[in-house]
């Protein structure tokens, strides 16, 4: 009769032990608040129920200098000066639709030029980049003079482009140092152009970007650069982090016996097996909220 070697016996023992082990569900020990209910718009471009509508085609009352732009057939055309929201925002999801002039005039930065300034400081470039050569960190979808977009997703002049911008505002320590830089994600026409890009500071035409402490919120600004760039359907959602309360350290929850299997008698009921369920509330602490857009 052939005998098994020692490694063979070890392998069999490990297999038997694994087959007899009981899987246990892992729990974080955090009680999360229920996410708020948000009703989507009738289409993906329509504002959801929690949106702040900045332009719905009727007027620009939400903007300073909004009376200087031209409004016709639900479209606002840049004119005379920049416009700036009266309300200030921090972390946001911003939706805006824009179109370069149908008639092509000029080239490079002189063609269909505008810009969307987040907090009035950080520019996402708007430019007619359809078969229009310019420096890459100045074309549509770039963070002006900081990074080019990952792709050129422009539609033809006169056609509508959609920007979905996720912006996480910078945070500063008490001494003015940067605790968390600003981040931007941009999707143009369904194509990812900026992937959680870390901003180096506010936009400047003459200086290298660098941070200076500023308020936690700021306005949205749309630039007038001399071109009749058109806008419609502008809305945003203010982003708040998920909030939870730690009620215990992380733990594994014993799984109940399968039907037909008898318990060993050694397992405690699920409530008794969970740390923090014994009625002692002195060890309960609040969990740190998950911050949207934080860098991993």
pLDDT of 257 strictly over 90: no
Q: What is the CATH number of the domain that holds 147?
A: 2.60.120.560
Please give the pLDDT value at position 5. 53
Please give the pLDDT value at position 276. 46
By residue count, the chain amounts to 296
CA distance 242 to 22: 33
Residue at 196 is within a domain:
yes
pLDDT band at 255 (very low <50, low <70, confident <90, very high): confident
pLDDT of 268 strictly over 80: no
Cβ contact 211:170 at 8 Å? yes
Residue at 233 is within a domain:
yes
Residue at 200 is within a domain:
yes
pLDDT of 12 strictly over 90: no
pLDDT band at 22 (very low <50, low <70, confident <90, very high): low
CA distance 77 to 232: 9
CA distance 149 to 145: 11
Mean pLDDT along residues 189-208: 96
pLDDT band at 291 (very low <50, low <70, confident <90, very high): very low
Cβ contact 242:290 at 8 Å? yes
Q: Give the domain range for residue 169.
A: 52-238
Residue matched to tokens 């409004």: 71
Mean pLDDT along residues 173-186: 96
Residue at 75 is within a domain:
yes
Residue at 262 is within a domain:
no
Residue at 194 is within a domain:
yes
Classify residue 189 as exposed, middle or buried by CB count within 10 Å of its CB (0-12, 13-18, 19+).
middle
Please give the pLDDT value at position 258. 74
Cβ contact 268:133 at 8 Å? no
Residue at 164 is within a domain:
yes
Mean pLDDT, the chain, rounded, equals: 86
pLDDT digits (tens, 9 = 90+) for 141-155: 999 999 999 999 999
Please give the pLDDT value at position 253. 85
- Cα-Cα-Cα-Cα dihedral of 98, 236, 120, 124, to 10°? -40
pLDDT band at 30 (very low <50, low <70, confident <90, very high): very high
Task: Quote the tokens at residue 100.
Answer: 């370069």
Which of the pair, 27 or 254, is modelled with greater confidence? 27
Name the nearest CA neighbour of 226 among 131, 97, 106.
106
pLDDT of 32 strictly over 90: yes
pLDDT of 106 strictly over 60: yes
pTM: 0.78
pLDDT of 265 strictly over 50: no
DSSP-assigned states of every residue in the chain: -PPPPHHHHHHHHHHHHHHH---EEEE-SEEEPPPPP-PPPSSTTS--TT-EEEE-SS--TTEETGGGSEEETTEEE-BSB-EEESS-BSSEEEEEEEE--SS--S-GGGSS-EEEEETTTEEEEE---TT----GGGSTTSBTTTB--SS--PPPTTS-EEEEEEEE--EE-TTS-EEE--EEEEEETTEEEEEEEE--SS--SSS--------S-B--EE---SS--EEEEEEEEE---B-EEE-S--EEEEPPPPTTPPP-S-PPPHHHHSTT-SS--TT-EEPPPBPTT---
Reported as half-sphere exposure (CB side, CA atoms, 13 A), residue 21 has a value of 9
pLDDT band at 28 (very low <50, low <70, confident <90, very high): very high
Highest mean pLDDT among 14-18, 250-254, 259-263, 280-284 belongs to: 250-254
Please give the pLDDT value at position 24. 86
CA distance 85 to 263: 65
Please give the pLDDT value at position 117. 98
pLDDT of 293 strictly over 60: no
Please give the pLDDT value at position 11. 45
Domain count, the chain: 1
Residue at 1 is within a domain:
no
């Amino acid at each position: 009769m052939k005998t098994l070697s020692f490694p063979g016996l070890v392998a069999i023992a490990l297999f038997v032990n694994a087959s007899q082990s009981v899987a246990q569900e892992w729990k974080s020990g955090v009680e999360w608040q229920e996410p708020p209910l948000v009703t989507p718009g009738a289409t993906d471009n329509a504002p959801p129920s929690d949106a702040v509508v900045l332009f719905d085609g009727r007027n620009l009352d939400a903007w300073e200098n909004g009376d200087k732009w031209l409004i016709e057939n639900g479209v606002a055309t840049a004119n005379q000066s920049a416009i700036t929201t009266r309300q200030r925002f921090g972390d946001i999801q911003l939706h805006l639709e824009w179109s370069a002039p149908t008639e092509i005039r000029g080239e490079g930065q002189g063609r269909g030029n505008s810009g969307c300034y987040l907090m009035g400081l950080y520019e996402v470039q708007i430019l007619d980049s359809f078969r229009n050569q310019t420096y890459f960190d100045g074309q549509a979808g770039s963070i002006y003079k900081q990074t080019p977009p990952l792709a050129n997703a422009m539609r033809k002049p006169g056609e509508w482009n959609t920007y979905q911008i996720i912006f996480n505002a910078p945070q500063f320590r008490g001494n003015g140092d940067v605790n968390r830089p600003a981040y931007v994600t941009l999707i143009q026409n369904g194509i990812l152009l900026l992937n959680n890009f870390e901003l180096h500071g506010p936009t400047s035409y003459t200086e290298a970007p660098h941070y200076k402490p500023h308020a936690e919120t700021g306005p949205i600004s749309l630039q007038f650069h001399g071109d009749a760039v058109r806008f419609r359907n502008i809305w945003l959602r203010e982003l708040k982090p998920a909030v939870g309360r730690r009620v215990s350290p992380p733990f594994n929850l014993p799984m109940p016996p399968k039907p037909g299997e008898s318990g060993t008698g050694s397992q405690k009921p699920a409530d008794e097996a969970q740390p923090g369920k014994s009625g002692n509330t002195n060890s309960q602490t609040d969990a740190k909220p998950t911050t949207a857009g934080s860098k991993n």
